[in-house]
A = this chain, B = another copy of it.
Amino acid sequence: MKVFNFLFALFLFISFHSFSQADTTERVVLVIHGGAGTIMKKHLSPEKEAAYTEKMTEALQAGYAVIESGGTSILAVQAAINIMEDSPLFNAGKGAVYAHDETQQMDASIMDGKTKNAGAVAGVGTIKNPINAAIAVMNLSEHVLLTGEGAVEFAAKNGVEIVDSSYFKSERRLENLKRIKAEENDHGNLEPVDEELKMDVLDKKYGTVGAVALDKENNLAAGTSTGGMTNKRYNRVGDSPIIGAGTYADNNACGVSCTGHGEYFIRNVVAYDVCALMLYKEISVKEATAEVIKKQTELGGAGGVIALDKDGNVAMPFNTAGMFRGYITESGKVVVLMFGE
């Protein structure tokens, strides 16, 4: 069975890469990311690369199925993000990294481009799918951002699935935390270390999942979910639960989800800035996202953005070595990429 999965994934991987020059005049209906960082071929085994491709494809197809059946862009974003949250491959939900105190504290946000309504949670530890809690905050409260135990209490009261914190336990992520602490204490590298662990150490500040969808009613939605920064302290909150920084959606411009060194994305209000550039300078989503990445590089912030405009034009720029990313068109064509192609 595992061999079959691997071969299937390899087949998908080869197939999708041939789509990377796909006809971009076709409307894109869903774009996702699985984090930006030092994602290079040398860090990933062929099996791992295939696993990422397979999981991102599954996420794209789950969101696509929602849109095809006439579901909202919010539900499509949720479906795609839930697949990635439930996978240990990505730093969100099940794959969340550890904070300094060996807890896992997750953040998520969602925004509806039609109403400009939004919801977010920060620093939650026992919500299986933080994006679902963000959606509950948006739909069922008068608030935008709830944090910590209060956010968990609200989610639980409103039917969002709560799990024991042991659900998120990961020996690999704990090993990762140990290595990062050792490195920060100048104890040097703990040998032996494989290439993927090296990548995880290099990317300790990054790792997020996100999605932007455009439904048949031409409504945009954007969402982001993350475990945050490995070894974070003091209940640090990054850009992912911050509307404007990590997530934004406005039917008049585009939907945006960001990934990268959160503090820099907060300081430049990156997600909203893409919309502001499109609205005020009347430039395209490709030009606007290129501009915000240029500003991030100038400020010193590593990462990337995905954006989808109201006409189905997609952009996925980044200033890191790679970014897990992909999109699906209205006819169901899938493109999945991860390196700096």
- Please list the residues of chain A having a beta carbon within 8 angstroms of any beta carbon in chain B: 111, 116-118, 122-123, 141-151, 153-154, 232-238, 242-245, 248, 262-263, 266-269, 272-273, 276-277, 280-281, 299
- The one of B235, B272, B277 in contact with A280, judged by C-beta atoms closer than 8 angstroms, is B277
Separation of A235 and B141 alpha carbons in the complex (Å):
13
Interchain CB contact under 8 A, A147 and B266: no
Per the bound structure, the CA–CA distance linking A32 and B235 in Å amounts to: 30
CA A276 – CA B243 in complex, angstroms?
16
A268 to B281, CA, bound (A): 18
A236 contact set on B, CB distance < 8 A? 143, 145-147, 150
Select one of B153, B234, B243 contacting A150, CB under 8 A.
B234
A263 (CB) vs chain B CBs: closest residue: B144
Nearest B residue to A229 by beta-carbon distance?
B143
Tell whether, in the assembled complex, residue A263 and residue B143 are in contact, meaning their CB atoms are under 8 Å apart: yes
A323 to chain B, nearest CB (A): 22
Across-interface contacts of A269 in B (CB, < 8 A): 243-244, 248, 269, 272
Beyond A118-B266, A280-B280: 17 further Cβ-contacts under 8 Å?
A: A111-B267, A116-B267, A117-B267, A144-B266, A145-B237, A146-B236, A147-B237, A149-B235, A154-B233, A243-B267, A243-B269, A244-B245, A272-B272, A272-B273, A273-B276, A276-B280, A277-B280
27 A-B residue pairings within 8 Å (CB atoms): A122-B237, A123-B147, A143-B236, A144-B263, A144-B266, A145-B236, A145-B242, A146-B236, A146-B237, A147-B147, A147-B235, A147-B236, A147-B237, A148-B235, A149-B235, A150-B233, A151-B234, A153-B234, A154-B233, A154-B234, A242-B242, A243-B245, A244-B244, A272-B273, A272-B276, A280-B280, A280-B281
Q: Is the CB of B145 within 8 A of A148?
A: no
Asked if A272 contacts B244 (CB within 8 A), the reply is yes
- A108 CB → nearest B CB, Å: 14
Could you tell me the distance between the alpha carbons of A117 and B268 in the complex, rounded to whole angstroms? Answer: 10
Q: Is the beta-carbon distance between B148 and A148 smaller than 8 angstroms? A: yes
Give the shortest distance, in Å, between A29 (CB) and chain B (any CB): 24
How far is B118's CA from A148's CA once the two chains are assembled, in angstroms? 22
> Smallest Cβ distance from A144 to chain B, in angstroms?
5
- Chain B residues lying within 8 Å of A144, measured Cβ to Cβ, are 262-263, 266-267
Q: Which residues of B contact A299 (CB under 8 A)?
A: 116
Q: Given A269-B248, A276-B276, are A235 and B116 neighbors across the interface (CB < 8 Å)?
A: no
A273 CB contacts on chain B under 8 angstroms: 272, 276
Bound CA–CA A141/B242 (angstroms) = 19
Residue from B141, B154, B235 in contact with A151 in the complex, judged by beta carbons closer than 8 Å: B235
**CB-nearest residue of chain B to A137:** B234
Bound complex: CA A198 to CA B235 (Å): 37
Could you say which of A118, A245, A268 has the most chain B C-beta atoms within 10 Å of its C-beta?
Answer: A245
Q: Are A243 and B272 in contact (CB under 8 A)?
A: no
In the complex, what residue of chain B is closest to A118 when comparing beta carbons? B267
In whole Å, how far is A229's beta carbon from the nearest beta carbon of chain B? 9
